[in-house]
Each structure stands twice: as C-alpha cells, then as structure tokens.
Amino acid sequence: QVQLVESGGGSVQAGGSLRLSCAVSGFTYMRNSLGWFRQAPGKEREGVAVIYTGDGSTFYFDSVKGRFAITQDNAKNTVYLQMNSLKPEDTAMYYCAAANRRILGWVFSPRNYDYWGQGTQVTVSS
C-alpha cells in the first residue's frame, strides 16, 4: 500500500523560507517520478517541482525557478521541497504526488500521477 505523508507546512512572512517533506512508503523508490503540486482556493491544482529518482533529473514550474529546490534522500525514502523567497502568491495547500515510472509527457499534469498525499498548508503573509 503506497502512502505519501507530507509535513513542514506553516505560516511565514514574505521573503521567508520553509522546507516541506514527503515520506514515501510501500513504493519502489527507484525510477519513479515524485512531484510537488499546490492548489489555492478557487484555483486548479498546479505542478511546482518534479524529480525523477532514476537519475535525479529535476523540473520546475516557471513561477518557482530560482526560489524552490526539490531533492531526494534515498536512504530515508523522502523527497523535500526547499522554498525560499516566499511570496504571498505561494500560499496554497501543497501536495506530494508519485508515479511509478518516468513521465514522458507534461510532468506537471496531475493526471500523470497515481498516488497523492493529504497535503500540507503553506501560508505566506505580506
């Protein structure tokens, strides 16, 4: 049974930092795509960052490039999202997602992912 458990959300002021964690269990950790998505009230879920565990390739949505970093710790079966220079528009529920393959299409499409966590809230105040 695959489980994704997010943690690390919270409230910060603009310009601050947070690190989100996603603990992955019941899943073959090699050659998978692990992603972070977010959804603000009234908006569609959007991709933020994705890592392919097979070779460590990373992908970032334009709005977070240079500010966010996705990393993996194979020993802990955990993927992280380091978020720096946070802006009020980053406020959203953040979700971890997983697919047991390398995604060949649009990596930021939620439909490409098979497993989802429950989410962790990030609130950035101005």
Please spell the DSSP secondary structure of 2-63, one letter per residue. -EEEEE--EEEETT--EEEEEEEESS--SS-EEEEEEE-TTS--EEEEEEETTTTEEEE-GG
Show pLDDT as tens, one digit a residue, over the chain (126 residues).
899 999 999 999 999 999 999 999 987 657 889 999 999 999 999 999 999 988 999 999 999 999 999 999 988 999 999 999 999 999 999 999 999 899 988 899 999 999 999 999 999 999
